[in-house]
């Protein structure tokens, strides 16, 4: 399917169909890329790659944010049977070099100046397989080098390639997972994986068609983001490529998409923005918005979700709530045309799902891994269970290991293993079933995640604690930006807390607490007491051995440090514990 993907779309939708929209920096608008132009560009790049010596099943690297050029290289690779190796644009020289060596990459594409500079360092080192760099952004500055060529000049580098027939078992892409521990692993995804998952998406999301638009702001180095882009193109919709994730709030208002894939953290930030505005309303307006939320929950959660007929009086009340409040909120953010907003990559609290669904914002919670080519399960249009990760995707088999409660997955969308790592591949499968590393349960047709097996903390008292469950509870509090739970082989649970600076400073101002900088404020006993009171309120439903007993504050924004978080924003707990070992030891001294 992928080898003829663009050609099939050309035949199906016509050469003038608007497939991609990219930011036009000259006039701050959006430039349209039609299917006919895409097909022509794919052919040019396919011939250029052949001219660089790329042949069947050779690896081609792409280190870039979301750009039109990266999609073209993807499909050019598929056309000649080569293999795409996407690399996060934020990776360090060391991390890039590891992937280039491991995948034996000779040609790599650089998105912008930062990526080019890092890749050029590797090219000049001469200690690896790298021979050529293709530069996407026209503004990248570099000295003349025959090993470096701009994307716009590829038409001058054409060669010829063998007209091979790519089979289902051939490799389409190798996606390196950053992992919370150890070195990256190359997940081998075949053409069969993509065909299977796109077919599965077609059955689950059959309402998507050529009238839809997708805003792609998650990097396509996430399989979740890549599959959503491919699926939208396959259905004839239009994909807006947001190159810089930090621009998302402004871009949302420009595009107003019907579909957008994101991570739960994005929705947590949107929730905070809405609630902060709501907190500044007059008391009567706040009271009214509380009424609208109750009406929205009753209509969308209690009736619509269950496929039940909505009573006429509730319809009328919702019409008022929607016109006066919900519609204004959706318009303010850019979400008023929403059809599906898939959210995956981490746990999402019931509170946030109910909150947005009540407002008519169709969050679709999903679960999947790189190894399963994205979704294993997700919400259906009706009869989804809040607190679950939805129903299994069509064509995907799931079962629970009776001894460990581990979720096991089988199907054509499951990866072929790990590149150059037969040892890891063998450990990852049992009797043909992929071991996800997540514990869960199945009730009827619905899947639930209960724990992350590999990340469970075992206290010195022999009790097992799920740090993610505790962290998710604490992070619902408006004062807490991030919580990192500690306690492995310790006799009680503690946490490192990254506070929400603005919220804490506002509290200090309202309560007359003097301080000369934020770090000094956090040493005030009133602040520590406040946080412990709020934390205790969050964890009333936890067992005593699961509850956080002590905290220490950290002021560094961990999201800006790739050594502390993975590229999918998961905590590298081992690295965090190493960096803050003194603070942690204080809590246990």
Q: Tens digit of pLDDT for each residue in 457-490? A: 767 666 668 788 888 889 889 999 999 999 887 8
Query: What is the structure's pLDDT at 181?
Result: 45
Per-domain residue ranges of the chain:
2-166+209-255, 264-453, 456-588
- Distant-in-sequence, close-in-space partners of 487: CB < 8 Å, separation ≥ 6: 457, 459, 465, 467, 493, 494
- Count CB-CB contacts under 10 A for residue 308: 10
pLDDT at 180 over 50: no
Question: Of residues 264 and 306, which shows the higher confidence score?
Answer: 306
| Residues 497-502, mean pLDDT to the nearest whole number | 92
| Residues 184-204, mean pLDDT to the nearest whole number | 96
Lowest-pLDDT choice from 112-121, 208-217, 273-282, 564-573: 564-573
pLDDT at 362 over 80: yes
Question: Of residues 61 and 244, which shows the higher confidence score?
Answer: 61
Share of the chain above pLDDT 90, in %: 76
* Residue tagged 């439903």 (tokens): 541
Lowest-pLDDT choice from 175-189, 260-274, 416-430: 175-189
The C-alpha atoms of residue 450 and residue 443 are separated, in whole angstroms, by 13
pLDDT at 304 over 80: yes
User: Sorting pLDDT into bands at 50, 70 and 90, what band is 26?
Assistant: low
Strands 132-135 and 107-110: parallel
Superfamily of the domain at 2-166+209-255? ANL, N-terminal domain (3.40.50.12780)
Question: Of residues 111 and 542, which shows the higher confidence score?
Answer: 111
Query: What is the structure's pLDDT at 569?
Result: 66
Query: What is the structure's pLDDT at 461?
Result: 66
| Residues 69-73, mean pLDDT to the nearest whole number | 97
pLDDT at 296 over 90: yes
| Residues 172-195, mean pLDDT to the nearest whole number | 85
Query: What is the structure's pLDDT at 182?
Result: 54
Q: Could you read off the pLDDT of 508-519 as tens digits, one per residue?
A: 999 999 998 999
- Count CB-CB contacts under 10 A for residue 162: 9
| Residues 394-411, mean pLDDT to the nearest whole number | 94
pLDDT at 527 over 70: yes
* Residue tagged 């702001």 (tokens): 217
User: Sorting pLDDT into bands at 50, 70 and 90, what band is 370?
Assistant: very high
Query: What is the structure's pLDDT at 460?
Result: 63
Is the pTM here over 0.85, yes or no?
no
Query: Residue 45 — φ and ψ, nearest 5°?
Result: -70, -35
Query: What is the structure's pLDDT at 29?
Result: 86
Smallest Cα–Cα separation from 87: which of 149, 56, 146, 133? 133
Query: What is the structure's pLDDT at 356?
Result: 97
3-state SS assignment for residue 542: coil
Architecture of domain 264-453: 3-Layer(aba) Sandwich (3.40)
Mean pLDDT rounded to a whole number for the chain = 92
> What CATH topology corresponds to 456-588?
GMP Synthetase; Chain A, domain 3 (3.30.300)
| Residues 493-501, mean pLDDT to the nearest whole number | 93
The C-alpha atoms of residue 163 and residue 146 are separated, in whole angstroms, by 28
Q: Could you read off the pLDDT of 536-582 as tens digits, one per residue?
A: 999 987 878 889 999 999 988 877 777 777 666 677 787 888 899 99
Q: How far is CA 394 from CA 210, 236, 262, 310, 403, in A?
A: 22, 21, 22, 29, 26
CA atoms within 13 A on the CB side of 334: 16
The contacts found for 478-482 with CB under 8 angstroms, 24 or more apart, are 478/272, 478/275, 478/503, 479/503, 479/504, 479/507, 479/530, 479/531, 479/534, 480/531, 480/534, 480/535, 482/558
The C-alpha atoms of residue 566 and residue 286 are separated, in whole angstroms, by 38
The C-alpha atoms of residue 545 and residue 459 are separated, in whole angstroms, by 9
**Which two structure tokens, joined as six digits, stand for 281?**
């309303």
Query: What is the structure's pLDDT at 531?
Result: 95
pLDDT at 162 over 70: yes
- Would you say the CATH fold of 456-588 matches that of 264-453? no
The C-alpha atoms of residue 367 and residue 375 are separated, in whole angstroms, by 6
Query: What is the structure's pLDDT at 523?
Result: 93
* Beta partners for residue 465, in sequence order: 457
> Do the beta carbons of residue 305 and residue 382 sit within 8 Å?
yes
The C-alpha atoms of residue 2 and residue 166 are separated, in whole angstroms, by 9
* Beta partners for residue 326, in sequence order: none
| Residues 325-336, mean pLDDT to the nearest whole number | 96
């Amino acid at each position: 399917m992928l080898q003829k993907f663009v050609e099939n779309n050309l035949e199906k939708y016509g050469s003038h169909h608007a497939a991609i929209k990219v930011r036009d920096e000259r006039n701050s608008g959006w430039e349209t890329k039609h299917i006919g132009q895409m097909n022509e560009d794919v052919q040019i790049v396919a011939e250029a790659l052949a001219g660089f010596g790329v042949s069947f099943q050779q690896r081609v690297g792409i280190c870039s944010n979301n750009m039109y050029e990266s999609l073209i290289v993807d499909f050019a690779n598929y056309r000649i049977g080569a293999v795409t190796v996407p690399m996060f644009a934020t990776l360090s020289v060391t991390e890039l070099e590891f992937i280039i060596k491991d995948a034996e990459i000779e040609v790599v594409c650089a998105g912008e100046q930062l990526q080019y500079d890092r890749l050029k360092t590797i090219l000049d080192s001469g200690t690896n397989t790298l021979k050529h760099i293709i530069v996407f952004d026209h503004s990248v500055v570099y000295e003349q080098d025959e090993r470096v060529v701009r994307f716009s000049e590829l038409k001058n580098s054409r060669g010829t390639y063998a007209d091979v027939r790519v089979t289902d078992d051939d490799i389409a892409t190798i996606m390196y997972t950053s992992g919370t521990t150890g070195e990256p692993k190359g997940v081998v995804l075949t053409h069969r994986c993509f065909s299977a998952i796109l077919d599965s998406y077609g059955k689950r999301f059959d309402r998507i068609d050529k009238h839809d638009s997708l805003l792609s702001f998650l990097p396509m180095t996430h399989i979740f983001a890549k599959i959503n882009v491919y699926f939208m193109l396959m259905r004839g919709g239009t994909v807006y490529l947001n190159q810089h994730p930090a621009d998302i709030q402004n871009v949302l208002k420009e595009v107003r998409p019907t579909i957008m894939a994101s991570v739960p953290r994005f929705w947590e930030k949107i929730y905070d923005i809405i609630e902060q505005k709501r907190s500044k309303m007059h008391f009567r307006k706040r009271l009214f918005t509380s009424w609208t939320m109750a009406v929205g929950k009753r209509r969308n959660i209690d009736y619509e979700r269950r496929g039940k007929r909505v009573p006429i009086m509730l319809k009328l009340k919702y019409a008022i709530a929607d016109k006066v409040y919900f519609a204004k909120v959706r318009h303010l953010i850019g979400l008023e045309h929403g059809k599906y907003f898939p959210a995956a990559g981490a746990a999402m609290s019931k509170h946030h799902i109910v909150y947005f669904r009540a407002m008519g914002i169709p969050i679709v919670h999903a679960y999947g891994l790189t190894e399963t080519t994205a979704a294993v399960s997700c919400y259906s249009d009706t009869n989804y269970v809040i607190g679950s990760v939805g129903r299994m995707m069509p064509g995907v088999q799931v079962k629970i290991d009776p001894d460990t409660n581990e979720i096991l997955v089988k199907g054509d969308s499951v990866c072929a293993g790990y590149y150059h790592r037969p040892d890891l591949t063998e450990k990852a499968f049992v009797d043909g079933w992929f071991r996800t590393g997540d514990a869960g349960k199945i009730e009827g047709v619905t899947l639930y995640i209960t724990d992350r097996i590999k990340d469970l903390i075992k206290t010195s008292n022999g009790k097992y604690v799920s740090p993610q469950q505790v962290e998710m509870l604490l992070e619902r509090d408006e004062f807490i930006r991030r919580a990192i739970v500690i306690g492995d082989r310790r006799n009680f649970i503690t946490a490192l807390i990254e506070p929400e600076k603005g919220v804490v400073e506002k509290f200090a101002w309202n309560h007359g607490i003097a301080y000369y900088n934020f770090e000094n404020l956090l040493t005030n006993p009133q602040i520590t007491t406040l946080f412990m009171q709020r934390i205790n309120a969050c964890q009333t439903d936890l067992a005593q051995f699961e509850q956080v007993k002590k905290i220490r504050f950290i002021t560094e924004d961990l999201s800006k440090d790739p050594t502390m978080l993975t590229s999918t924003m998961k905590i590298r707990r081992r690295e965090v514990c190493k960096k803050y070992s003194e603070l942690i030891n204080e809590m246990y001294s």
